[in-house]
Amino acid sequence: MKELIALEIALHKKQPHTGETPLSAMLHNDFFEIGRSGARVGYQDAAGWLDSDAPSGSEIWSQDFDCSVVAEGLVLLIYNSAELGADGSLQKHARRSSLWQKVGDQWQLRFHQATAVTGF
């Protein structure tokens, strides 16, 4: 669980988890997400953004991680997140779920969804 939380947070911050490996390597080829807005984002768009020099945007606060093994090599990570405002307040709260799949010796994010919530 600690490894998957670290990987998830690395994606939040657009910081490579290991050396020179591009962040897009953490995405499964079949990756897609449904964002907080309800928009669907596929692998190409997500990988392009992760590997770009574009700023990551607002800082993300995350907490209350829960991990469930779905099958061997397949783990569901659920947690709460919010954007950290300039004044330190938490905004745009979401409940998030990520499906991580072990491919060889590397975990890859296969699916992600954010659902807007009023707070936590």
Furthest C-alpha separation in the chain: 43
Architecture of domain 2-116 in this structure: Roll (3.10)
| φ/ψ of residue 71, rounded to 5 | -160, 170
Quick: pLDDT tens for 21-78: 678 889 999 999 999 889 999 999 998 888 887 666 678 999 999 999 999 999 999 9
More confident residue, 58 or 114: 114
Buried b (16+ CB within 10 A) or exposed e, 64-97: ebeeeeeeeeebebebbbbbeeeeeeeebbbbbb
Between residues 69 and 11, the one the model is more confident about: 69
CB 114 within 8 A of CB 34: yes
